[in-house]
Structure 1
Amino acid sequence: MDVPVASAIKNSYELLPRQMKVVARWSLDHPTEVALLSMREQARRAGVPPATLTRFAKRLGFDGFNELKEMFADSIRERPKSFAGRAEELTARREAEGDGALIGDIIKALGGHLSELAQPSAIKALAGAADLMVESRHIFCIGLRSSFPAAHLMHYVGSLLGSPTILIDGIGGTANDALRIVTPRDALLAVTVAPYSRYTMQVAEFAVSRGVKLIGLTDSELSPITKISEIVIRVPTEMPSLVHTMTPAFAAVECLVGLIAAKRGSRALEALAANEAHLTSFDTYVLETRRMREL
């Protein structure tokens, strides 16, 4: 987020009272909503009293919340036109009834979240992460609960491309065993979203203490993983439904493996060909897979 006050919010976060921390996270994760919605509606969505928003703004040195809101509005107006239609604006939608309306809201939300991965800051983070992975001796991957599928996808597809991936999944209570071989030549992709896995943080902190390059795939600039990550890839998770989405995390991983494939070039093609030959020897699929001819 490019709002000028973002740094002040992040720097003061740890010293804020509990409810103000909620407002801080809301402000950084929903800049468009801060700019467009009323204070009362923002308080409702953030789950705090409206007065907390006023106290939060004054804590940052503003006369009131409207002054803070105007700063967010200025930042929104300065966005490149190519991003003007991002579905963050779904937060200003009218509440609708019926299955079709709910499905439409969900699809719009997903479209907005995915479009954020095309912003310059996200592209820079994804490209930097891919560079680290290509240069690493091993690529460790971890993600628990809803974050596990994204971590597994990185491990599975990365291995098809010939990347030396290791999934920290803990089968039989052996999760920690994989960490015995970590060195500064390795990278770790840690996928974690609120409420944030304690074990994922423990693994990340251990890896960083051994010099491993940490790539945090997470949902907020105030996620605990960001403090120790060399590169942070932010993936929004909020949805107009009861559960959060991991679709942007999947998309981010697919971007990473696409970049890795392109960077590995002929080595990736050779690895894919070897994998196809192996699967064919076991007659794995009903239909013959189409061989990738170029990257």
Structure 2
Amino acid sequence: MDNEVKLPTKVPRDFESLRSTIIERKNAMPKRLAQVAAFALTNPDEIAFGTTASIAAASEVQPSTLVRLAHHLGYEGFSDLQSIFRERLRDRTLSYEERLVSLEQSGAEDEDASILSGFLSAASQSINRLAASVQTEAFARSVDILAAADTIYLIAKRRSYPLTAHMTYAFSKLGIRHQIVASPNGVDPELVQFATPRDAAIAASFSPYAAESLTQSQELADRGVPVIAITDSAFSPLAACATHWFEVAESDFAGFRSLSASMALIMAFPVAIAERRRKMTPAKTTKDKME
């Protein structure tokens, strides 16, 4: 049986606080508790909808482990913990039409100004959170890997796609060889087959994770291609296969989530890579400069 370590803390009452608490304490958790905690953050909808029996079966633990995790985190029982996931679901599964209706019902005198202010505030919060948490050493090591790569493969689907679209533009302008893995004719699996350990990849995916992005990133990692990942959790499947990874938690406004912090991060990569390569290139002699 796992030896549980009691770590009394304030009980999280919203999903983001719970997520942060789990990530902060994951290394101190007994093996089985860490296993089900990882499953919970990766499959939050399953936790919200499922029964104790179905969740235990899906996460390959005993039902009693769910109760133990709840107590470990300070909750009265599993249903108390589950309520956090259900609240998250109510906040995040509104249709776009329902989100617009909720905005209309907010009662703001100047609705347009309120919407703009809300998105600007969410963007500011996201960027401030990233600025406070990003590890500059990990960024520098990632730039080292990417600057030395023959070709940089860019992987992102669905909501994350704009990140690679912007990097494609920046890399093209800076003369950095790259390959965006987003073919309209469905040959992405063939594209990644060209990658070798002399190359590298930047992959981005956020919950609910895009299956193709995870598969392609894992395939590259298995073949010795370094993967630099941008994702939202230490328990993300993308983080598990990455050489280096960056956690980016985007704030939302009325259920709409932007890519403000993620975009700021990926804008730094092309410029840093270009600068690193410039410094790696032997300086021209005076004669070369005159000719």
TM-score range normalised by the length of the shorter chain: 0.5 to 0.7
Is the counterpart of residue 7 in structure 1 residue 20 in structure 2?
Answer: no
Q: Specify the code of the residue in structure 1 equivalent to 2:161.
A: F
Check the 8 A contact 1:9/1:60 in 2, yes or no.
no
1:250-265 aligned at under 5 Å gives the runs 250-265=263-278
**Distance of 1:102 and 1:47 partners within structure 2:** 29
Q: Which residue of 1 aligns with 2:205?
A: 192
Once the two structures are superposed, residues 117-157 of structure 1 have per-residue CA deviations (whole angstroms, 9 ceiling, x without a partner) of: 32364323322222211011110001111211101222221
Q: Which residue of 2 aligns with 1:35?
A: none
* TM, length-normalised to structure 1: 0.62
1:163 corresponds, among 176, 181, 186, to 176
Check the 8 A contact 1:139/1:188 in 2, yes or no.
yes
* TM, length-normalised to structure 2: 0.62
Check the 8 A contact 2:164/2:180 in 1, yes or no.
yes
Q: Specify the code of the residue in structure 2 equivalent to 1:160.
A: K
Unaligned runs of at least 5 residues, structure 1: 26-45, 49-54, 67-94, 269-295
**Distance of 1:144 and 1:150 partners within structure 2:** 9
Aligned residues: 216
1:53-72 aligned at under 5 Å gives the runs 58-59=68-69, 62=72, 64-65=74-75
**Distance of 2:224 and 2:271 partners within structure 1:** 26
Q: Which residue of 2 aligns with 1:104?
A: 117
Check the 8 A contact 2:26/2:34 in 1, yes or no.
no
**Distance of 2:200 and 2:276 partners within structure 1:** 16
Could you say what the CA RMSD is over the residues aligned between the two structures, in angstroms? 3.6
Is the counterpart of residue 148 in structure 1 residue 172 in structure 2?
Answer: no
Q: Specify the code of the residue in structure 2 equivalent to 1:221.
A: A
**Distance of 2:146 and 2:73 partners within structure 1:** 46
Check the 8 A contact 1:58/1:65 in 2, yes or no.
no
Once the two structures are superposed, residues 238-274 of structure 1 have per-residue CA deviations (whole angstroms, 9 ceiling, x without a partner) of: 4022222222221111111221232123789xxxxxx
Check the 8 A contact 2:38/2:235 in 1, yes or no.
no
- Identify if the C-alpha distance between structure 1 residues 209 and 156 changes in structure 2 by more than 3 Å, giving closer, same or farther: same
3-state SS of paired residue (1:130) = helix
**Distance of 2:73 and 2:234 partners within structure 1:** 25
1:228 corresponds, among 241, 253, 272, to 241
Check the 8 A contact 2:251/2:258 in 1, yes or no.
yes
Once the two structures are superposed, residues 151-177 of structure 1 have per-residue CA deviations (whole angstroms, 9 ceiling, x without a partner) of: 122222123222211111122222122
Distance apart, 1:195 and its partner CA: 0.8
1:230-245 aligned at under 5 Å gives the runs 230-245=243-258
Distance apart, 1:47 and its partner CA: 6.3
Check the 8 A contact 1:190/1:214 in 2, yes or no.
yes
3-state SS of paired residue (1:5) = helix
3-state SS of paired residue (2:179) = strand
1:131 corresponds, among 144, 157, 181, to 144
1:205 corresponds, among 218, 222, 230, to 218
3-state SS of paired residue (2:176) = coil
Check the 8 A contact 2:134/2:247 in 1, yes or no.
no
**Distance of 1:62 and 1:13 partners within structure 2:** 11
- Identify if the C-alpha distance between structure 1 residues 117 and 17 changes in structure 2 by more than 3 Å, giving closer, same or farther: closer
Unaligned runs of at least 5 residues, structure 2: 1-19, 50-64, 77-104, 282-291
3-state SS of paired residue (1:258) = helix
**Distance of 2:198 and 2:151 partners within structure 1:** 7
Once the two structures are superposed, residues 62-118 of structure 1 have per-residue CA deviations (whole angstroms, 9 ceiling, x without a partner) of: 48349xxxxxxxxxxxxxxxxxxxxxxxxxxxx964224443333222112112332
